Structure 1
C-alpha cells in the first residue's frame, strides 16, 4: 500500500494554507464546507489504498504483467506527487471552490473510465488522469477548510477532518477488499462516483468561493512540467528495465529524460518568482534534515508495503478483504498514540524521536522479511505490522513539528507543502526501484528452484514467458498435479525471496533516515525570520 493513511504535514497544510477572511463564509455554510473537504479528500485517501488490494484481481482479469500492475499505481501517484503543489496554486489564482470542483469532476470521470477499461493500457491512462484530478482536489479540500474557518475555529475543524481521515485510512483497504471478493475490482473505482456527486452537490449549493493572497504571484508551470518529466523518466526506466533490459533505447532515453528533467527543475526553481520548491529553505538545517528523513523513510514505507498485499493474496492465499485488514493494527496504533507522540518534541527535542522512531521502523521491516510461504498472519506478519506502526507513530508527529518549527510562520505553508510532496514522490520512486530489485531476485530464485526440482525444458520455457507476472504466473498447461504443485511452490518461494530483499532494503533506508536525523536535525541555522525570503 503505497500510502498508508495521510502523508506528513497534511494537517499543517490546512493550518497554514489560506487565511479565512472575516465574514467570507457564513456560519451556516461552515459544516457543509467541512463535509465537502472530508468526503473529497476521502476519495483520494481511499483510492491510494484500495487499488493495491485490487491489483491481483486486476492483474488476473486483464492478463497484465506485474510491471504493468505497477503502472496502475504509479501513473496515479506520479501525477499526484508532481502536480500537488501546482494544484494548490491554481486554487489560489482561479478560486479554490472552482478548482476543487474541477478536480472532483475529473476524478469521478476518470474513475468511471478505470472501471470500464478493457485492457491494462486503458486502465493506466485513466489512472494518470485520475492523478491529475487528485492533484486538484487534495490541496483544494485542505484550502477550503482554512479559507472558511477563522484561526480560533480552525483547530476544531482540523481535528474533525483528521479524525475522519483516520477512519477512512482504516476502512478503505477493507472496503476495497470486500468489493473485490464479492463483486469486482471495478467497484474499487466506481465507489468514487456517488461520493463525487455528493461533493459536487455540496460544493455547488453551500461552499463559497475564495482566492489566495498569492493569487498574483504567478504559477510555476515550468517547474511542474520538469518535475513530472524528471520523476516520470526515472520511474519509467526502473519499471521497464526488468522486461526491456537496461540497454533498451527506450529505457536509456527515459533515464536521460529523468536526469535532464531533474536538473532542469533545479535550474528553474532557482529563478522562478514563485517556485514550487524554494531552494533557500534547504539551507535551513532542520528543514533539509527533516526532508531527507522523509524521502528515505517514506520510500521504505511506500516501496515496501506496495508488495505486502501481493504477498498476502498471491502467495499466502488470503482473501482481498483479509489483506486489506492486515494493516489495521498499524493504523489503530498511529491513531491511538498520536497525541502522546505529539508531545515527544516538547519533552525531548526533535532529534531523539526522529532517531528512535525510524530505528524501530527498521526492526519492523526486518520482521517482515522473516515469514516464508504459508506463514500465519498472527505469528508471522502481525508482529512486524505492530512494530512498524509504533516506529512510524514515534516519527510522524515529531517530523511534522520539526518541519513547521524549522521556518518562520510566513513560510510554514510552503514548507509543509514541500514535505508533503516529498513523501509522495519518495513512494513513487521506491515502488519503481524496488520493483526492479524484486524482478532480479525473483528471476534468480525461480531459475534456481526450477533447476533443483528438475523441471523439464518445456516447463522452464513456459515459465520464462510468465516470470514478468511474478507471483501471478500461470501454471504450465498439461502437467501432472505433483509437477503443478512443485512449480507453484517454486513461484511462491521466489516471490518471498524478492519480498525479503525489498524489506531488508526498506530496513536499510529506515536506518539511513535515522542516521540523517542524528547528523542533521538540531544543527545548522535556526528558522529564518518571517520577512526573509529564501
Structure 2
C-alpha cells in the first residue's frame, strides 16, 4: 500500500498543477513558455535522473533511496507552495523532479525484487493502474484545492502525504539491494545522459520562442544576450546528438572493460526488454501530452472552473480503474502483449475522438465518453508494458532495468509534453492570426498584439477579450479549440506509432514464474507484500 502511495504522490504531482495553471498564470503573471516549464521542469529532471537513481537504488538500498526521495520531494513542495515568482516555482519543480526520480525506480525495483509468480503480476497491475488513475485524480484534487483554497495547496498537500509514506515504509517495507555490487557509479555516463535528455527537451520547448533555425528572440542571461543570427536551438540539438552518441559509446566501452555502467546495455539483448522499452517510449509521447492542453481548453474556452475541470478529467481515472479490473480478470488468460495492443488501440480511439469533438461550442457530455475510453487504454497499456519489459530482467539488475523502463516512459512523456505543447501554442497563434485577419477594423499591429497576449497567457486572456469585443473573444476561443484539436490528433499519431511498435512484443502466453523469492533476495523481503 505505501509503495503505491509513493507512486501516487509523484504521479499526481505531474498532473495536479494542470488545472491550477490558469490561477498560477493570474497570480504569478507567467507566460506560455513558463507554463510549459512549470510542467516540463519536473518531467525533464525526472526523466534525466531516473537511470542514475535506479543504479543508486540497486547499490545503496532501494528503501533508502525511496525515503530520501520522499523527503526531498516534500521539502521542495513547501518551496513551490510559497513561491512568489514563476522562476522560483520552476526552480522548486526542478528539485521536486530530483525527488521524484529517486522514488519511482526504487518503487518499481522493490516490486521486481520482492514479488514472484502471480503476486508479481498483481503488484505490477496495481503499480501501473496507480499511475494511470492518478493521472486524472491529480487534476480533480488540484481543482478542488484551487477552487476552494489556493493553487498553493496543490503543492502543500504533498507534505502530509510524504509523512504518511515515510512512516509506512519504515514500518512495513524491508530494505533490499544488489548483493556485492560495487558502490562506484559511472559519473561520466550520468553527466552525458542528463545532457542528452535535458538539451533535447529544452530545445523542443524553447524553439518556438528563440527560433528553430534563425534567432527570433535572442536568449538573455543577466547583461549578456545571444549575439548571433543563428538561433541557439540548432546548437542545443547538436549537444543532444553528440552527448547521446557519446553516452552510448562510453557505456559500451566501460562494459567491454568489465566496469560498471549507468545503463546495463546487455539488457537490450533481451527481446522483451528491448521491444518493451521502445514501445513504452513511443506510446508515452502521445499518452500524457494531451493532459497539458485539455485543462487550459476546458477553463479558458468552455469557462469551467478548476473543480469542474477536475470532474471532467475524472472520467480518465474511472477508465483506468476499470482497466485494472479487466487486466486482473483476463491477465492469466490473455497474453500481456495482446492486452497492451488493446490498450493502445483504446487510447487512439479516445484521443482521436477528442480531436473530432473539440470545438468552442462543445460541452462536457461529448468529451467525457472519449476521456473514459482513453483512460481505459492507459490503464490496460501502462502496467502490462512495464511487466513485459521487466519480466526477463535478472533480479540483481532490477534497479537498472526498472530505471531504464521508467526513463523510457518519462522521456517519452517529456517529449510528448514539449512537442504537443509546441503544436498547441503554434497552432493557436497561426489560427488566431488567420481568423483576426477576417475581422474588419483590426489592423495588423493590433492583430499581432492580441495573438501574443492569448498565446503568452496560455489562453487565460480569452475571458478578458470578451469585455473588449465579443467578436475577438469568439475568434480566440475558436483558435484555441483548433490548437487543442491539432494537439489531440498529433497525440493520436504518436499512439499509432506506438501500436506499430507493440507488434514486435512477444505474443506468447502470460509469463509464469515460480513462487517465492529468487536471485539471492532474502525471504524477509516478502514482508513488503502487504505494503504494495
Indicate yes or no: 2:490 matched with 1:508.
no
Q: What is the alpha-carbon distance in structure 2 between the residues aligned to residue 396 and residue 204 of structure 1?
A: 28
What displacement does 1:320 show? 1.0
Residue matched to 2:360: 373
Indicate yes or no: 2:193 matched with 1:227.
yes
Q: What is the alpha-carbon distance in structure 2 between the residues aligned to residue 158 and residue 96 of structure 1?
A: 17
Taking a change above 3 Å as real, the CA distance of residues 504 and 161 of structure 1, as seen in their structure-2 partners, is closer
Moved more, 352-361 or 234-243: 352-361
Indicate yes or no: 2:248 matched with 1:300.
no
* Equivalent of 2:456 in 469, 474, 479: 469
Are the aligned partners of 2:132 and 2:382 in contact in 1 as well (CA < 8 Å)? Answer: no
Are the aligned partners of 1:114 and 1:186 in contact in 2 as well (CA < 8 Å)? Answer: yes
Residue matched to 1:187: 153
Where 2:151 maps in the other structure, the secondary structure is: coil
What displacement does 1:451 show? 0.9
Residue matched to 1:360: 346
Are the aligned partners of 2:15 and 2:139 in contact in 1 as well (CA < 8 Å)? Answer: yes
Indicate yes or no: 2:86 matched with 1:120.
yes
Q: What is the alpha-carbon distance in structure 1 between the residues aligned to residue 268 and residue 39 of structure 2?
A: 30
Indicate yes or no: 2:391 matched with 1:391.
no
Q: What is the alpha-carbon distance in structure 1 between the residues aligned to residue 115 and residue 424 of structure 2?
A: 49
Residue matched to 1:421: 407
Indicate yes or no: 2:253 matched with 1:267.
no
Q: What whole-Å deviation, never above 9, does each CA across 1:352-403 have from its counterpart, x for those lacking one? A: 444443233212111111220131111x211211222333344334433432
Taking a change above 3 Å as real, the CA distance of residues 282 and 473 of structure 1, as seen in their structure-2 partners, is same
Taking a change above 3 Å as real, the CA distance of residues 391 and 480 of structure 1, as seen in their structure-2 partners, is closer
Residue matched to 2:72: 106
Indicate yes or no: 2:482 matched with 1:497.
yes
Residue matched to 2:142: 176
Taking a change above 3 Å as real, the CA distance of residues 212 and 360 of structure 1, as seen in their structure-2 partners, is same
Residue matched to 2:524: none
* Equivalent of 1:335 in 307, 321, 325: 321
Residue matched to 1:6: none
Q: What is the alpha-carbon distance in structure 2 between the residues aligned to residue 356 and residue 41 of structure 1?
A: 24
Q: What is the alpha-carbon distance in structure 1 between the residues aligned to residue 448 and residue 459 of structure 2?
A: 17
Where 1:238 maps in the other structure, the secondary structure is: helix
Residue matched to 1:251: 233
Q: What is the alpha-carbon distance in structure 2 between the residues aligned to residue 486 and residue 214 of structure 1?
A: 70
Residue matched to 1:213: 179
**Structure 1: gaps of 5 or more residues:** 1-33
Q: What whole-Å deviation, never above 9, does each CA across 1:456-491 have from its counterpart, x for those lacking one? A: 2253242143143254253699x894x522222212
> How many residue pairs get matched?
489
Moved more, 510-519 or 93-102: 93-102
Q: What is the alpha-carbon distance in structure 1 between the residues aligned to residue 243 and residue 115 of structure 2?
A: 40
Q: What is the alpha-carbon distance in structure 2 between the residues aligned to residue 293 and residue 209 of structure 1?
A: 31
What displacement does 1:131 show? 0.6
Alignment of 1:278-317 (within 5 A): 278-317=264-303
Q: CA RMSD in A?
A: 3.4
What displacement does 1:87 show? 1.8
Q: What is the alpha-carbon distance in structure 2 between the residues aligned to residue 413 and residue 337 of structure 1?
A: 27
What displacement does 1:106 show? 1.6
TM superposition score normalised by structure 1: 0.81
Are the aligned partners of 2:66 and 2:106 in contact in 1 as well (CA < 8 Å)? Answer: yes
What displacement does 1:432 show? 1.0
Residue matched to 2:219: none
Moved more, 154-163 or 244-253: 154-163
What displacement does 1:506 show? 1.3
Are the aligned partners of 2:18 and 2:291 in contact in 1 as well (CA < 8 Å)? Answer: no
What displacement does 1:455 show? 4.5
Are the aligned partners of 2:28 and 2:84 in contact in 1 as well (CA < 8 Å)? Answer: yes
Q: What is the alpha-carbon distance in structure 1 between the residues aligned to residue 244 and residue 206 of structure 2?
A: 19
Where 2:19 maps in the other structure, the secondary structure is: helix
Residue matched to 1:318: 304
What displacement does 1:448 show? 0.8
Where 2:295 maps in the other structure, the secondary structure is: helix
Residue matched to 1:16: none
Are the aligned partners of 1:357 and 1:392 in contact in 2 as well (CA < 8 Å)? Answer: yes
Q: What whole-Å deviation, never above 9, does each CA across 1:491-510 have from its counterpart, x for those lacking one? A: 22111111111111111112
Residue matched to 2:223: none
Residue matched to 2:53: 87
Q: What is the alpha-carbon distance in structure 2 between the residues aligned to residue 520 and residue 168 of structure 1?
A: 26
What displacement does 1:438 show? 1.9
Where 2:440 maps in the other structure, the secondary structure is: coil
Are the aligned partners of 2:143 and 2:306 in contact in 1 as well (CA < 8 Å)? Answer: yes
